[in-house]
Structure 1
Amino acid sequence: MSIFKNLVELVSVLFDRDKANIQMIVFQEDVYPHVDIYERKLVLPSNMITQTLQADMIRILMHEFGHMLTWNETDFVKSDNCAADRYHSIPFEECYNDDSYMTLFYEAFWKDYDEQWLQTGYGTIEERLAFYEDHKDSFVSTYATVHPYEDIAETFSHFMLTPYNDNPQTVPERKVNFFYQFPELVAHRAFVLKELKDRKDEMLSFY
């Protein structure tokens, strides 16, 4: 039980509740780690906890916090009609505000992609692989190509956990540096890194 207790304590420290406001952590069997932003719930796999999370625990938590931070009900309105310069998630009927992280990320990195890549993903594995092969130099990971929501969450985890690059040359590097324009995120990054450093001895099982 100690690993579950430690996980709950770690989430309570690393997740900024003013921004993400997680209401509950649920352990379930046979699930991938994910968040439900509408119920403000973080779901972690109870039966795969050591295999799935031991090596990548911090990165996974930062990815899911990235979802809570950027896929946030305070940043969008429900609508099936949206201005062209805003990010619009058609399947969820979510139209993002002008100053939301999602709209600003979309404007900087996604607006030139065809509409089909902005929404439900790609119809087949072959199409996904083809999209990745055509654009892999623009993403921090393979998984980031799945959807703009995954791209921003994956990139956010890199922002939180990799050193600052003061001379970005590639699209992935510019994506990571995107978050440095927000003082509140820079401050939270500094807080998280200090907490991780201070807690390293007690979290060795997560590395």
Structure 2
Amino acid sequence: MRWLKCFVFVLLLVMVGCSPLTLSEESEEESVVVNTTEVEQNSCLAGEVYIVEEDTCVLPLECDDYDSCVARGDELVYLLEDEYGSLTAEESVSTDLEGTHDLYVYEIDNEKEMIFTDDDVTTEEIDYHAELWFDFAWLIPESEREDINQFIIFESGDTLAYVQQYDDSGQYWTLGMNKENIELASETMITYIHEYAHYLSLKDGEQNIWVELDACEDILIEDEGCFYEDAYLVYFYEQFWQRPSEYENDYVSEYATSSVFEDFAESFAHFVLTPQPVELKTLADEKIAFFYEWEYFVELRAQILTRAATWLVRAVV
């Protein structure tokens, strides 16, 4: 969950679990792309490629193994920082409206890239809400978000976004987004990627949601969830949170200090949106480097950045 700055951090998580994908599994679902050489062909700009199934334009991935995907990701980060400045800049502040108050619930058809609702909503509102959803859908490959198939618009003075599991099987997820538009493009990106990191660390296969916490025979983290031994969050917890640091420089952000769950999500977002650390001078650097231990994360980072580049050129006017 992403909270606005200047608010006391409270962890609200619905416990579920996640199973890591491999590069081979990812490649089996790879979308067909069409080279785009002319400006505005398929609404894509010169140098972009068009993903037919998603109606999305991306930059070429141009990597096919660990080293080349690390290099491609760093290349894109440097290019985007040169053009737009820091990709992790944030500026939102809290208001007096506490908690979240759901306004509209949309079901998502990821295959058709459509959202729909039975709620009483105007055409203008649904167009705006669709824009919020498709910002997220543009940044995250469809094959990596198929189980996020519900979208909630809410109002809140202290929460930007959240994700939560909403079905008894532990498979399907909701993305909630504040109705107020985030004006800073970098903050929109880091918010969506932060929430997506929660999904990655909590989705089906990461947690055992079928047992009571007091009956957990796997790894109990902060009395909040029963995690399998090979869960991403377990590795992160054992490396960084068995004795949490009290030093601010050991975290990528102030919000990351609030819990291992938020530290994981914030560190993942910085892993995606900053260059690979050359020297591990702080624990914060080590947390970013943690994600480079998985080839899956390295390729996913490169994929997200090819999308961030084409999203930013449209979002920043």
Distance of 2:220 and 2:293 partners within structure 1? 19
1:105-161 deviation digits (Å, cap 9, x = unpaired): 011101124xxxxxxxxxxxxxxxxx8xx3212211111111111110011110010
Three-state SS of the structure 1 residue aligned to 2:190 is helix
Give the equivalent residue in structure 2 for 1:80.
214
- For 1:168, give the aligned amino acid: L
Q: Give the SS at the match of 1:196.
A: helix
Query: Whose strand proportion is higher, 1 or 2?
Result: 2
Structure 2 letter corresponding to 1:80 = D
Aligned AA (1:192): I
Equivalent residue of 2:233, what SS? helix
Give the direction of change, closer, same or farther, for the CA distance of 1:202–1:168 in structure 2 (3 Å limit).
Answer: same
Distance 2:243 2:217 in 1: 15
> Is 1:7 aligned with 2:119?
no
Distance 1:178 1:87, change over 3 A: farther
Question: Contact 2:291 / 2:297 at 8 angstroms: preserved in 1?
Answer: yes
1:56 to 187, 197, 212: 187
Unaligned runs of 5+ in 1: 114-130
Please identify, of 7-16 and 153-162, the stretch whose mean Cα deviation from structure 2 is larger: 7-16
- Residue 25 of structure 1 aligns with an amino acid whose one-letter code is F
Aligned to 1:126: none
Does the Cα contact within 8 Å between 1:19 and 1:69 map onto a contact in 2?
Answer: no
Q: Which has the higher contact order (CA 8 A, sep 6+)?
A: 2
Cα distance change of structure 1 residues 197 and 70 upon mapping to structure 2, 3 Å threshold: same
Tell me the amino acid that sits aligned with residue 167 of structure 1: E
Does residue 36 (structure 1) correspond to residue 168 (structure 2)? The answer is no
Check if 1:105 corresponds to 2:236: yes
For 1:166 and 1:198, the matched residues in 2 are separated by: 27
The farther-off stretch of 10-19 and 36-45 is: 10-19
Tell me the distance in 2 between the aligned counterparts of 1:166 and 1:83.
Answer: 39
- Report which of the two has the higher share of helix: 1
Q: Which residue of 2 aligns with 1:116?
A: none
Partner of 1:187: 299
Q: TM-score, normalised by structure 1?
A: 0.77
Aligned residues of 1:71 and 1:149 also touching (Cα < 8 A): no
Hey, which bits of structure 1, 4+ residues long, moved more than 6 A?
Answer: none
Structure 1: distance between partners of 2:144 and 2:207: 14
Report the CA distance between 1:11 and its aligned residue.
1.5
Query: What is the one-letter code of the residue matched to 2:214?
Result: D
| Number of the residue aligned with 2:255 | 143
